[in-house]
Structure 1
């Protein structure tokens, strides 16, 4: 049974591998940083590249809002390492290869262009206490998250 992470609820914790193969745990940021979680379907695809490059280009803003940005996809950490390098991404990418975080956040899509178990494009803002303050899941993966709402949510937390 999947748990859907809603606004106002405690963010499901996860431990996933980053692009260096190291474990990163969401709760490690509790009390220290607000966290923006960006689930994206697949590395190297058009809209995903646009989303993550837009995020890259706005990192000074996220830093000023005391936010840690984390991109998550079901790609292997090897693929994400190459994607991060190719696009010069300046924030953490995590591999949800076993789809545990995507399930916990209720964003796993069972039919993504015929592929089973790909995360929908979704964004979450988790405050320093580990509570979800913003949730957006997009049914059409050609759309981008509402970055303005993410930034406004972060601004209210500071």
Structure 2
């Protein structure tokens, strides 16, 4: 079960790839500056993940108006994420959870990703959304068991409006 509303958001430091090169992003550096929306996605270059993050990119100004910083997180390397972002027009920070430690800390890691397809890839992040307020407390938590199911972005926005 994913972390719940009212839980303190676990801190992390992950790598993102920017035009200047790889950079570290520490969650606690953003606490207090704005609300935060963490979006865990299973894998780069897949249809649903691409659609989700492209849709978020096209509506990024709406999240900014709600005083929210949006981060996408997957277990892909920062170099794969950079190529994916360039190819797909994703314009939000993509954080590499290559070791799957953050997915495990937020309790959204699959034990076995798509077992019906006989894929043996433990640790892949479930499609999940977490809204974290300026105090570092989780105010919205949603994790999908099926990788094609999207979070309820209307509920995410309503939560952000209430903060």
Give the TM-score of the pair, scaled to structure 1.
0.95
Could you tell me how far 1:4 is from its partner in structure 2? 4.7
CA contact (8 A) 2:70 2:93 kept: yes
Q: What is the rounded CA distance, in whole Å, between the counterparts of 1:30 and 1:76 in structure 2?
A: 25
Partner of 1:76: 77
Deviations 1:110-140 (A, max 9, x none): 2112222201000000000000000000011
Question: Residues of 1 paired with 2:28 and 2:54: CA distance?
Answer: 26
Whole-angstrom CA distance in 1 between matches of 2:89 and 2:48: 16
Alignment partner of 1:82: what SS? helix
1:151 paired residue among 119, 134, 157: 157
Is 2:141 aligned against 1:135? yes
Distance in 1 of aligned mates of 2:54 and 2:89: 8
Report the aligned-residue RMSD: 1.1
User: Which SS does the other structure have where 1:75 is aligned?
Assistant: coil
Aligned to 2:126: 120
Aligned to 1:17: 15
* Greater alpha carbon shift after TM alignment, 19-28 vs 37-46: 19-28
Cα deviation code 1:31-51 (max 9, x no counterpart) = 111000000000010110111
TM-score of the superposed pair, with normalisation by structure 2:
0.92
Q: Give the equivalent residue in structure 2 for 1:108.
A: 109
The 1-side partners of 2:55 and 2:157 are apart by 13
Could you tell which deviates more after superposition, 3-12 or 133-142? 3-12
Aligned residues: 155
Structure 1 residue ranges (4+ consecutive) displaced by more than 3 angstroms after TM superposition: none
Instruction: Show the counterpart of 1:91.
Output: 92
Q: Tell me, which stretches of 5 or more residues in structure 2 are unaligned?
A: none
